[in-house]
């Protein structure tokens, strides 16, 4: 009996054993294939990074080498520097460096990209490179050479010693601070060298690079948690007896704020908002109630939104566009001074289409940019500005508008809204020079309410 049982079971077990071995072999092969693929991707990104930093150094040198009157070549060189730097930044993001201190080098490359782009997009024939910008270019040229040399040193060691990036990822993932890795040490050396550089004068075209929006820069006095509760009750439409929870964020930092939350006693849905600690400015608020019906017309929803803004002292606000999602209308309002639309003073209002209740407000741009301005006068007429438009562009509406251009400068423009090639656009023509400043495509869902 046992002989017959063993005669049957032995082949079965043998087949299972062979199957298990083959399965394990295939799993190991697939794992090795994935590891090899990841290693190849890391190696490619690293060698491309080294190449592009070296290329950046060359491109900056070429830009400095030409005659100062060769604005066309300078613009080409600066555009190439911006493109190459952007590629280098992308390659850094492809490497397993998230846990490695390399932020100074990334910041340095980002500043080069911004400086190059902002300088290249302006009219260099009217505003050529200044002495300060030439000095900045020379500094960037020298420092990019230093970084390139350090990366080439790491690259040489990587090739000679057949080093693997997978070992870098393992060392960083396990937070092994004693791990001796040439690649990690090389990148630390690069970042340390960059951190020791003197501050660079990026010049007027890049003045906005480090112009960070901080809550501490806002006007007004520091307010208490109780004062924030009072403000929140007004926005939420709650009585003084309603309970609110207040959490202080970033205490003692330039980003200090309050987060307020409550439960609506009528519907049980959540209400939440953020206020700045300095000045008590509302950053945003949100009502999470579901809106299941659409009873209002768009004009009624616009009126409800405008009344809400007026009630909370957002003065002279004009709706410029809207879209609808889940029975909630999302309006964009901008400030208005005289006849000029102030697009930097922008905020968004969300209004329920069932009863006109305000479901949310996003006011970040408004609180940073709202101020009394001395607006420039238009040096060209509307008819002169129209000459810059495509002759096939069918204008439906025209306004004077203050916008921020690509250099983050506020400029007065004529805003022409119209259609061409089956789509609606807003085209902004500089009211001083007659040049095109900006073109915005208006999607079918983002309906223009100024028409």
pLDDT mean for each 10 residues of the chain (451 residues): 55 60 54 67 84 91 86 87 88 72 80 85 82 89 89 84 72 56 78 77 52 60 89 86 84 77 83 90 89 92 94 91 88 94 94 93 90 90 94 94 85 94 92 90 60 49
H helical segments located in 127-204 = 131-160, 165-173, 182-195
Cα 205 to Cα 332: distance, rounded to the nearest angstrom: 29
Query: What per-residue confidence (pLDDT) applies to 359?
Result: 92
Extents of the domains making up the chain? 23-206, 220-368, 382-448
Cβ-contact 237, 312 below 8 angstroms: no
Query: What per-residue confidence (pLDDT) applies to 353?
Result: 95
pTM beyond 0.75: the answer is no
Dihedral sign (CA 111, 116, 117, 123): positive
CA distances from residue 220 to 126, 216, 223, 407 in whole angstroms, order as listed? 41, 10, 9, 29
Cα 363 to Cα 348: distance, rounded to the nearest angstrom: 7
Question: No. of H helices and E strands in the chain?
Answer: 10, 13
Beta-sheet pairing, 358-362 with 394-404: unpaired
Three-state SS at 338:
coil
Query: What per-residue confidence (pLDDT) applies to 208?
Result: 47
Beta-sheet pairing, 358-362 with 282-287: antiparallel
Cα 429 to Cα 15: distance, rounded to the nearest angstrom: 78
Query: What per-residue confidence (pLDDT) applies to 249?
Result: 81
**Furthest CA-CA distance within the chain:** 109
Phi, then psi, of 11 in degrees rounded to 5: -60, -40
Residue 154 is encoded by which pair of tokens?
A: 């790491």
* CATH number, domain 382-448: 3.10.450
H helical segments located in 257-415 = 298-311, 364-369, 382-386
Dihedral sign (CA 379, 382, 384, 387): positive
Query: What per-residue confidence (pLDDT) applies to 444?
Result: 59
Query: What per-residue confidence (pLDDT) applies to 29?
Result: 55
Write the Ramachandran bin of 84: left for phi over 0, alpha for psi from -120 to 50, otherwise beta: alpha
Q: Which residue has the tokens 């930092």?
A: 253
């Amino acid at each position: 009996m046992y002989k017959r049982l063993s005669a049957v079971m032995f082949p079965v077990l043998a087949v299972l054993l062979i199957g298990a071995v083959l399965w394990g072999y295939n799993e190991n092969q697939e794992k090795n294939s994935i590891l090899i693929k990841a290693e190849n991707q890391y190696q490619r990104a690293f060698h491309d990074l080294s190449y592009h930093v070296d290329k950046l150094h060359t491109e900056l040198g070429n830009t400095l080498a030409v005659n100062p009157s060769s604005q066309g070549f300078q613009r080409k060189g600066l555009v190439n520097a911006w493109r190459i730097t952007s590629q280098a930044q992308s390659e850094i993001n492809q490497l397993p460096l998230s846990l490695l201190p390399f932020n100074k080098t990334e910041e340095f490359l980002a500043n080069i990209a911004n400086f190059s782009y902002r300088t290249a997009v302006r009219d260099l024939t009217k505003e050529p490179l200044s002495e300060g910008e030439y000095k900045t270019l020379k500094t960037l040229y020298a420092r990019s050479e230093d970084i390139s040399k350090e990366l080439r040193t790491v690259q040489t060691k990587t090739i000679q010693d057949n080093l693997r990036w997978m070992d870098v990822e393992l060392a960083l993932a396990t937070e092994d601070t004693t791990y001796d890795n040439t690649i990690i040490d090389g990148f630390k050396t690069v970042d340390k060298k960059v951190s020791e550089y003197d501050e660079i004068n990026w010049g007027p075209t890049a003045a906005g690079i480090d112009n960070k929006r901080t809550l501490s820069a806002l006007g007004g006095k520091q307010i208490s948690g109780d004062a924030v509760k009072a403000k929140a009750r007004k926005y939420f439409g709650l009585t003084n007896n309603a309970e609110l929870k207040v959490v202080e964020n970033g205490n003692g930092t330039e980003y200090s704020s309050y987060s307020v939350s409550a439960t609506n006693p009528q519907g049980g849905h959540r209400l939440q908002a953020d206020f700045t600690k300095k000045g008590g400015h509302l950053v945003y608020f949100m009502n999470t109630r579901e809106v299941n019906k659409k009873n209002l017309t768009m004009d009624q929803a616009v009126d409800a939104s405008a009344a809400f803004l007026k009630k909370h002292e957002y003065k002279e606000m004009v709706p410029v566009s809207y879209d609808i999602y889940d029975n909630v209308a999302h309006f964009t309002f901008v400030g208005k001074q005289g006849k000029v639309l102030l697009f930097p003073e922008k905020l968004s209002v969300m209004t329920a289409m069932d009863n006109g209740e305000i479901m949310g407000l996003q006011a970040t741009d408004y609180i940073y940019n709202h101020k009394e301005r001395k607006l420039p006068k238009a040096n060209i007429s509307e008819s002169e500005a129209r000459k810059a438009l495509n002759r096939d562009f069918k204008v439906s509406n025209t306004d004077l508008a203050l916008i921020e251009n690509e250099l983050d400068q506020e400029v007065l423009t004529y805003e022409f809204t119209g259609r061409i090639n089956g789509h609606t656009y807003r085209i902004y023509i500089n009211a001083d020079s007659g040049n095109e400043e900006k073109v915005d495509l208006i999607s079918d869902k983002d309906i223009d309410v100024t028409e």
